[in-house]
Amino acid sequence: MPVEVWTYSDLDSMKTAVKQLRIRIREGERWRMTMEKRRYTKYHKDEIVRELAELINEKVDLKNPDKILRIDIIGKYTGISVLEPKDMFSTSQ
């Protein structure tokens, strides 16, 4: 999975990165957030999703999004990307 921005795993750093990437979700596009957390207990997943989702004004579509905001938290570092569904790999398809 491509990572566009690496940052620290505190909320302020993640918010800064999302603000930088949110322009990739264009007006009228629907989006969803996908998050993976490993070796990280500082914030609950719901708290992170709520804080980051507030930064994007477009409509959410969990089943058929145009863009996916991918958040990978690995300990003290976080990788963030804006992907299209075709960029996601799944072994269940």
Is 53 among the domain residues?
yes
Q: How far apart are CA 44 and CA 63, in angstroms?
A: 23
Is 92 among the domain residues?
no
Task: Check which CATH number belongs to the domain holding 46 and give it.
Answer: 3.30.2130.30
Is 66 among the domain residues?
yes
pLDDT of residue 86: 84
Is 80 among the domain residues?
yes
Using CA of residue 38, residue 53, residue 88, residue 16, what is the dihedral sign?
negative
Is 15 among the domain residues?
yes
Q: Kindly state the tokens that stand for 73.
A: 């938290």
pTM score, two decimals?
A: 0.88
Mean pLDDT across the chain, nearest whole number? 92
| Domain region containing 22 | 7-86
Number of domains present in the structure of the chain: 1
Is 93 among the domain residues?
no
Is 2 among the domain residues?
no
User: For residues 35 and 48, is the Cβ–Cβ distance under 8 A?
Assistant: yes
Give the C-alpha distances (Å, rounded to integers) separating 29 from 16, 18, 39, 67, 68. 21, 16, 33, 7, 10
pLDDT of residue 30: 98
Is 41 among the domain residues?
yes
Q: What is the pLDDT of residues 32-54, one digit of tens each?
A: 999 999 998 888 999 999 999 99
